[in-house]
Structure 1
């Protein structure tokens, strides 16, 4: 009798687990498309007036629109990109030495690749100035953390994807060689080969000094969105980098190392905390970092770099949790404000780059096959 009850119990539990897994792995593509469109429509109706229309926040948002258009071919996204470009007169920001001010070029290059009547002269000029014009950051400034051109990890989202997409458009590997040089400088300076994460900048490198910043639990500070910038930027770079390019294995290996670490750090509710090694510091999910992670991990599955059986549950859990952060209006909340280190967010905190991360995540979610 006891053996029979045990068998019944085990069978019952197995059914529950199977049902749970089926629910857990379900993604509704039509609901995803609807959520993405609502996010776009809300953001277009609520621009951040205090920020330059060509700054990095808008650039990250429109990069999300680029990816949404690629995934859906919905003209609504293309119209938003076209209106933005005409409104900006195809201009870029003024700081040629600052990676942030290259980021808007990504959308312009995409429009040109579609055969649009795009004026890429400002894009061409800032790229050449950024790579070849002298500036103190290139030789290092002894007074602060600006030791190299891309001295903060966010820069790996802002500039490298622009350079790889432009190299593809122009069929000119010279841009890739420069990208390699500056990317590896940042990697060598900020990448922790033990933790497989990037410090935001040199202030967060623990070198034994009492003045170094660290979490209350004694661990290094690894900012969620900072690492989100990096791994999402890696996916963008790998999308346009030639398959036979000599340094491609470096970028693929870095992508896989970071993906493995991030999967292991994902909380049970699906959303990563703003401080990756100290989730207790702000014990709630955050959308911008989580959105970029979701995009990257889903991209890795879709492009054969990540094992679908291993990573699909993480991606699905994350996307379903991201959807819960969107209000009925389409507004995407739980986005940490502009910053450089872990800080809290709430249901009403939003930024345009958070919407961009949401759209990027959805774009790769739509590409997941049923058998993935």
Structure 2
């Protein structure tokens, strides 16, 4: 084979791959594709249960599954969520004082709003009333406030705000405002516009403390993803004239600008946001929550589509590359308090599934998304 023929074949193959890629990229923004993907991913996760049904991990999955049901109207998803609630008697998890253990209440409240059955709400009401009336049983170390780790900003705030809106009791909204501001003051880095996971990752006044290999501060994708996802869910609930809404809106926009700048070429974010070179592959749970939050922000007029729609498009393409034929979402960082390197395409966790489902539920609403 001479060089001209070889070169022609290479060019033809390249053009074919590029055209296939462009066609595939367009397909994944079609309504039918997104809805089918949401159903497939949700069904796979229901068929592969993990952890206690009331655990925070599953709470993130249920949030995504509920959004998938709202998007697809697939009755089997709704029935599965109702069956899970009935199976645990609509109880939060074990600890009344811990944000993780009231995260599942978000979905209980969402389902109660439809079913209007008091037993679906009563245990959530009892537990969260206890939560806001008693101090956190601190060990005196890093757990010095109720929302002492940034992931808590997804777990508890939507539950408190949803409960306040549903019952008309302002105490729940006001308590959340106070706890949220404490976390912001403790963990938000005003130079980097990101949240440290907890006090272990906040540098001391002399500059000493934990850092990444490149010398940067440690801000992990999943933790800040939880924050952005939680902000979207809180803002979805708060009335536009609510007195403290501007605080949440300003924080949402400030973080969105910084996080968008850290997106990698494959559309995803790395486990460590500002040391991407040290971590292999995209981290899907953080990336899913970012995609969800940015798409929600565009859909609700908080983010400029000219700036953020390209970010969402790249993210949605990248996220779909991490879903296998069965509907399993891979490349999910395992449970832990810091960025991890030991995960790959076969690593899955239920919260990664939830993040993907939330993202798809907002991407499908975007105008001019193709």
The question of a shared fold, defined as TM-score above 0.5 by the shorter chain, is answered with: yes
Match of 1:65 in 2: 65
Match of 2:131 in 1: 130
2:248 to 251, 254, 262: 251
Match of 1:278 in 2: 275
- Tell me the CA shift for residue 23 of structure 1: 8.2
Match of 1:8 in 2: none
Match of 1:158 in 2: 155
- Contact 1:90/1:118 (<8 A) preserved: no
Alignment of 1:1-372 (within 5 A): 27-48=29-50, 51-117=51-117, 119=119, 120-137=121-138, 141-142=139-140, 144-208=141-205, 212-344=209-341, 345-370=343-368
3-state secondary structure, aligned to 1:265: coil
Aligned partners of 1:22 and 1:42: how far apart in 2?
Answer: 26
Aligned partners of 1:371 and 1:365: how far apart in 2?
Answer: 8
Deviates more, 1:80-89 or 1:105-114: 80-89
- Tell me the CA shift for residue 24 of structure 1: 6.3
- Cα 1:24/1:350, change in 2 over 3 Å: closer
- Contact 1:221/1:275 (<8 A) preserved: yes
Query: When the two structures are aligned, how many residues end up with a matched partner?
Result: 349
Residue deviations 1:82-113 (CA, integer Å, cap 9, x gap) = 11111111111121110000101011100111
Aligned partners of 1:304 and 1:211: how far apart in 2?
Answer: 40
3-state secondary structure, aligned to 1:203: helix
- Contact 1:99/1:158 (<8 A) preserved: yes
Deviates more, 1:103-112 or 1:201-210: 201-210
- Contact 2:309/2:369 (<8 A) preserved: no
Aligned partners of 2:199 and 2:22: how far apart in 1?
Answer: 42
- Cα 1:308/1:21, change in 2 over 3 Å: farther
- Cα 1:282/1:73, change in 2 over 3 Å: same
Residue deviations 1:163-185 (CA, integer Å, cap 9, x gap) = 11111111121111110000000
Q: Normalising to structure 2: TM-score of the pair?
A: 0.90
- Contact 2:164/2:170 (<8 A) preserved: yes
Aligned partners of 1:63 and 1:176: how far apart in 2?
Answer: 20
- Cα 1:323/1:371, change in 2 over 3 Å: closer
Cα RMSD between the aligned structures? 2.0
Aligned partners of 2:245 and 2:136: how far apart in 1?
Answer: 28
Match of 1:5 in 2: none
- Contact 1:271/1:286 (<8 A) preserved: yes
Deviates more, 1:23-32 or 1:296-305: 23-32
Aligned partners of 2:369 and 2:205: how far apart in 1?
Answer: 49
- Contact 1:25/1:316 (<8 A) preserved: no
- Cα 1:118/1:365, change in 2 over 3 Å: farther
